[in-house]
Amino acid sequence: MKQGKKSKHDEKWVHSACAMCIGAPMKVKLRNNKIVEVRGEDIPDWDGKVCGKAISGIGSRIYPPDRILYPLKRIGRGDKSKLVRCSWEEVINAVALKLKKYIDAGHPEYFEIWWGCPYQQDNVNFIHYWTAVLRSGISYLHGQVCFGDHAVEKTVTFGPNHASNLIFGVTDWLRTKYAVIAGQNFPGTANNAGGSCPVVFWKLINKAKENGCKFIIVDPKLQDSTPWSHEWVPIKPGSDAAFAISLAKVLIDRKLYDKTFLLQYTNAPQLINKKNGEALRDKNGNYLVWDTRTRSAKPIPKAGEAAGLTLGVGKTFEVAVDGENVSCETAFQIFSKAIGKEKAVSPIPQEKVYEIATELGENRPSAIVFPGMTSGRYPNWFQTLRAYSVVNLLLGNFDQPGGFYFLKNPFNLGMGWPEPPEVPEYREGQRFVPGPWGNLMSDKTIDKAPCYKEPREFHPATQALPWLHFEAIEKGRVRTVISSAENAAVTQTDSRWVEECLKNLDLLIVGDQVPKDIMHMADYVIPEASYLERYHLYFNYFLGSDDKEHSVLFMRSAVIPPQGESKPLSWFLMELAKRVGLGKYFEKLDLEYEWWDKMLKKARLYPNVTARKLIDEGPYSEEHPIVYNLLFRSIATKSGRFEIYSNELAEECYYNAKSRWYHSPYVHPLPKYISIAKPRKENEFYLVCGKATWHQKSATQNDRYLMEDAIEGDCEYTPIYINTERARRLGLVDGDLVEVECIGPTKGEDPCVYHDMAIGNKEKGRVKVTEGLHPETAWIYFASGHKSNLMLHKAQEGIAANWLTPCSVSPYAGGPGKNYSIVKVDKIEEGD
Amino acid sequence: MARFGMVIDLNKCVRCRTCYVACKKEHNILAFPKDEMHPYEYYRLRYVEWEQGSYPMVRRSFIPIQCVQCDDPICIRFCPVDAIMLREGLIKIDRNRCNGCGVCTNICPYGALYIDRDGKADGCDFCAERLDAGLVPVCVEMCSGGARIFGDLDSPDSKISKTVKSASAKSLVIKSQVNRRIFYIPSPNETDWDELEFHEGFKNAMDRRKRDLPPVRGIL
């Protein structure tokens, strides 16, 4: 492709990136400066391809008929209010006035920026820098809903050096023989190749399938892409931990675990006090193991060493500590005993559990269990993730052929923040701690303060603590919010409560290209430049179908000017900074090239790789051979090993009398199944919300191309799905109008429920009966039932899940129980 | 002259809808969820999807459907204004002749034709303009899972010829329409492929689509 060279038809191809789900390097064809076509870059494994979302993004976010091209302000009050066109000057003045007022009063934190999608978003690093300078609040609200609790669990179990690869379950697919995927529309919405776009992943798993890998999907719903797999195993919502523990039990009972791996790399041999369940330590604080050669306890050796260690199956060890003999068992033994006593009945028939566990065990280490990202999200999710991780540890499948793979060649890009003397000093008096996407945040921010107090309330790997922001608005501690590339009005649980909170704001400013729910409450709507009208450096690290590890850098460049009066959010924020007298921190910044060049310098790629070259010449791509070596980095857990028994949970939470979570089963150092509230009557169901392959996030929710087949096709988007037999017993048939009322869980039913304003909320929907659904489940697609009358009429049909979902949170991990809803479904007459 | 054909490997299809969106964009086909203003569907390519079996032993079948290029197209035989013809063995609709009466859309047993926003019949022609430019159909180029194979069926060395010769590639026969241009590789549990047209779920899915077509307006 010749860059920048115009054809006789005034056509040219330029390099940029897709932002419609996970960023992907993409070529854009311009004709008379208008985007007419997109294709994937000609690099492995895109090979010129993009998916339907990338193609539809041009029509739905760049040139849609309802593109927001001018700033809008709300006039009037209540139902009679409306948004009318105004000038940028008017918006900037109004917002700057508030900001100045808060700063002068010593409360810049009253002003917050909420961001959601790192790909649809303008420069995420700049936004964090801006809030660091202005000392205002910031929150990556979506991050916690998406993967924050995964990040916590993986950090707790595997340590921060190994966690990131495991969140999305990067797998050595070309050698995998057996894969059990739970809680997800697999492969449609999966990303288990690495941080890559679906085009890469689908190509890879098709090869895995050709190689003979068998895929088993465990989910309440036979989802739209699930039939690609070999088998669907339905599961009762919220019972994944019981399933995982049942698998572990079979693996242990049948000795199908990898003893060598457990002894070398995990704390399975660690000694635990039999009496109180706490880890045994010597006077120097070392965790202990039993050495069979000396018949005595010794400090746990570093990962990789196993000589003399034992799993201590069926054994008790007497260890002298401070002159007293303490009866101990290994972590492996107490886990084995605990699951032996587990009262939870497997949610899947025992013979099926046996079959799956046997396949896993016999194919280890080329077999994996992945917990998914969507359907299983309840307050017990953290322990569910722990249980799945322990199954994988039993299989010994980390950095082994066909198992999970740790990508070893990411670029160390940093965050590009300008430092003095380039800008005046801005860090004074602030303590910065790690934030999302490699950024830093003040430890005083709402998301970070609970994670850095003693003892911690939430783990520092949480991405955000969304409910605390809404509570802060209620209490007047947050008064103005800019919401960009996120849609808290429907994407956060207990949306009615969220909406009530938002009403207390002095100002709500919403930026985007197209209408979305939260605009319905906005005081100002700002027309943000789209992803193809501004600049951002992105990276992808993945395993390719060529059996190599790939590290790719690419620039999302402005291929066309911002449409109408739209501007990047960064421009708006810099204008605000100028008005409040802080312009000196921003005046010399070049957000198009230099910001990214600074990151490339940190990665030691500059000047071979520059932002300009990435735009002119296309992506920078490195290939590396696959290397299995899980000790490529030290295991940074408390024991220095992957932890079946979590020393962090034990010391920080479960056995810490000062902890908010003292003796809470949700933070027990061994994975546990914790039951959730249940539907009790014939017309009561778990309401579960899932994502479609072609339409899975806010960016696609007002999309004509993607909505069309979803609504009109045979995999309809807007109905509420009910199991055929249950529907028959309730006298429901396809197309029946039903009222769906949230009846639980209440605060009284579950201590993890923080807000239950959703109780009593009612939505209407049409029934679709299906055989492909667990009978206790009523199922809807994510992001149907939109509340904004600005959006496509069809997008407003159906049921909005978060209006029927109370706000529940998993202790310590901060995971939102985004599927934790019990509903009552009743047929109503047309017109009711 | 090449005899172009296509194989769709349903084992590789992840049901991502990329072919649908790519086709619509390529041919500038109206994309709008149905409403009062746009009561019908507009597509060259669409999907039928249905369930078989009962809980928990259930499967969801899924077939992308486009014009299968019948050997003896019924749409040509019944077009009252002779607007449909074969060009190098592929369906071609003369938009100047077509009066949008809807006979072809209603009579096609595959439901593969539709009336476009200009009131003209339209359907898949393997992206004729792309073929002229030496390109493959856009659905083939963009298929994320690599499920679509396209090429010259008469070329013995082509990937498509070799694939079609394998026992697993089957054509979709409805109402005895012989077609030897589009083939599918069904998934192993799709054991009743040859009887598909008689399957209640398939018939219902096809019939449902028929309801989304405009009625026949009369012959002239």
pLDDT in tens, A402-444: 999 999 999 999 999 999 999 999 999 999 999 999 999 999 9
Same domain, A705 and A808: yes
- Complete DSSP assignment for A406-470: --------------TTTS----TT--EEE-GGG-EEETTSTTTGGGSSSS-SB-TT----HHHHH
H helix intervals, A623-720:
647-648, 704-712
Q: Do the beta carbons of residue B118 and residue B126 sit within 8 Å?
A: no
Q: How close does chain A come to B58, measured CA to CA in Å?
A: 6
Together in a domain, A400 and A415: no
A398, A432: one domain:
no
Q: Are residues A444 and A559 located together in one domain of the fold?
A: yes
Together in a domain, A396 and A443: no
| Same domain? A268 vs A202 | yes
- Candidate from B19, B49, B58 with C-beta closest to A715: B49
C-beta of residue B28 within 8 angstroms of C-beta of residue A202 = no
B125: in domain: yes
Q: Which chain B residues are within 8 Å of A705, Cβ to Cβ?
A: 21, 24-25, 31
What pLDDT, on a 0 to 100 scale, did the predictor assign at position A490?
85
Contacts of B168 in chain A (CB under 8 A): none
- Angle of CA points A13, A18, A20, to nearest 5°: 145
> Where among A386, A405, A424 does a domain terminate?
A405
CB contact under 8 A, B208 and A714: yes
pLDDT of residue A194: 66
pLDDT digits (tens, 9 = 90+) for A317-344: 999 988 889 999 999 999 999 998 766 5
Residue A204 phi/psi, 5-degree rounding, is -65, -45
- Chain center to CA of A807: 17
> Alpha carbon A392 to chain centroid distance?
20
Q: Are A301 and A312 in contact (CB under 8 A)?
A: no
Query: For residues A537 and A597, what is the distance between their CA atoms, to the nearest angstrom?
Result: 9
Return the ∠ at Cα A494 (arms to A489 and A499), rounded to 5°. Answer: 40
* Closest Cα in chain A, distance from residue B116 (Å): 16
Does the pLDDT value for residue A494 go beyond 80?
yes
Do residues A219 and A357 share a domain?
Answer: yes
| A785 and A727 part of one domain | yes
Instruction: Out of A53, A187, A794, name the one closest to residue B35 (CB).
Output: A794
- What phi, psi does A824 have (nearest 5°)? -110, 130
Is A460 within a domain? Answer: yes
Domain count, chain B: 1
Q: A interface mutation test: which of B144, B163, B209, B213 has the most A CBs within 10 A?
A: B144
Q: What is the distance of C-alpha A741 from the center of its chain?
A: 28
Residue B220 maps to a domain: no
Whether residue A180 is found in the same domain as residue A321: yes
Same domain, A423 and A401: no
Task: Give residue for tokens 């050698």.
Answer: A175
What's the domain range around A745? 684-827
CA distance to partner chain B, nearest, from residue A704 (Å):
5
- Grouping H, G, I as helix, E, B as strand and the rest as coil, residue B156 is coil
CATH of the domain at A291: 3.40.228.10
CATH number of the domain encompassing residue A738 = 2.40.40.20
Min CA distance, A17 vs chain B (Å)? 16
Whether residue A657 is contained in a domain is answered as no
Is A8's pLDDT higher than 70? no
- Residue B14's domain comprises 4-211
CA dist., res. A704 & res. A56, Å (int) = 8
Is residue A14 situated within a structural domain? no
- Proportion of chain A above pLDDT 90, given as a percent: 86
- Final residue belonging to a domain, choices A353, A378, A405: A405
Q: For position A467, what pLDDT does the model report?
A: 97
What's the half-sphere exposure (Cβ side, CA atoms, 13 Å) at A45?
30
Q: Are A718 and B53 in contact (CB under 8 A)?
A: no
Whole-number pLDDT of residue B121: 95
Cα separation, A570 vs A528, whole angstroms: 10
Q: Which residues in chain A have Cβ-Cβ distances shorter than 8 Å to B61? A: 227
CA A134 to chain centre: 28
* B217 part of a folded domain: no
Q: Is B206 on the interface with A (CB under 8 A)?
A: no
Q: Is residue B216 domain-resident?
A: no
Q: Return the pLDDT at B32.
A: 74
Task: Tell me whether residues B56 and A234 touch, CB distance under 8 A.
Answer: yes
A-B contacts at Cβ under 8 angstroms = 143
User: In this structure, are residues B72 and B51 in contact, taking their beta carbons and an 8 Å threshold?
Assistant: no
Q: Stretch A553-557: mean pLDDT, rounded?
A: 97
Q: What is chain B's pLDDT, residue by residue, as a tens digit (220 residues)?
A: 789 999 999 999 999 999 999 999 999 998 876 667 777 788 999 899 999 999 999 999 999 999 999 999 999 999 999 999 998 889 999 999 999 999 999 999 999 999 998 899 999 999 999 999 999 999 999 998 899 999 999 999 999 999 999 878 999 999 888 888 999 999 887 778 989 989 898 998 888 777 667 777 655 4
In chain A, % of residues over pLDDT 70: 97
* Tokens 């996120």 belong to residue: A486
A202/B48 Cβ within 8 A = no
Angle at alpha carbon of residue A680, lines to A675 and A686, rounded to 5°? 65
Residue A586: give its domain's CATH number: 3.40.50.740
Looking at this predicted complex, what is its ipTM?
0.94
Question: In angstroms, rounded to a whole number, what is the distance separating the alpha carbons of residues B4 and A394?
Answer: 52
Q: Supply the pLDDT for residue A3.
A: 40
Write down the mean pLDDT value for chain A: 94
Task: Tell whether A417 and A345 lie within a shared domain.
Answer: no
pLDDT of residue A341: 78
Q: Rounded to the nearest 10 degrees, how much is the dihedral formed by the CA atoms of A166, A169, A173, A175? A: 50
Residue numbers in B near A711 (CB within 8 A): 33-34
Dig out the tokens for A299 from the structure.
Answer: 């400090």
Identify whether B147 is part of a domain.
yes
Looking at residue A2, its pLDDT comes to 40
Contacts of A220 in chain B (CB under 8 A): none
Domain count across chain A: 3
Q: Rounded to whole angstroms, how far apart are CA atoms A477 and A592?
A: 35
Residue A394 shares a structural domain with residue A422: no
**Domain-terminating residue out of A623, A658, A674:** A623
pLDDT at A183 exceeding the cut of 50: yes
Cβ proximity of A645 and A335 under 8 Å: yes
Out of B33, B41, B48, the one facing A714 most closely (by C-beta) is: B48
Nearest-by-Cβ selection for B51 from A206, A711, A770: A770
Q: Which residue of B has its CA nearest to A696?
A: B16
Distance (Å, whole) CA A398 – CA A642: 10
Measured between CA atoms, the residue of chain A closest to residue B53 is A771
pLDDT in tens, A604-630: 999 999 999 999 999 999 999 999 999
Residue A7's pLDDT is what?
Answer: 53
Q: Are the beta carbons of B33 and A794 separated by less than 8 Å?
A: yes
Min CA distance, A37 vs chain B (Å)?
Answer: 8
Distances (CA, A) of B155 to A498, A512, A678, B71, B130: 63, 51, 62, 19, 20
Domain assignment present for B173: yes
DSSP A508: E
**Looking at CA atoms only, how far is residue A351 from chain B in angstroms?**
15
Per residue in A680-733, pLDDT (tens digit) is 999 999 999 998 888 767 788 888 888 776 667 788 888 999 999 999 999 999
- Give the best residue of A50, A202, A223 to mutate against chain B (max B CB count within 10 A): A202
Residue B218 lies in a domain: no
pTM, to two decimals = 0.96
Of residues A735, A730, A801, the one with CA closest to residue A766: A735
Task: Tell me what pLDDT residue A95 has.
Answer: 98
Residue B4 pairs in a beta bridge with: B152
Q: What CATH number should be reported for the domain holding residue B43? A: 3.30.70.20
> Minimal Cα–Cα distance from B93 to chain A, Å?
25
Verify whether the Cβ–Cβ distance B33 to A793 is below 8 Å: yes
CA distances from A49 to A182, A192, B22 (A): 28, 19, 11
pLDDT at A6: 47
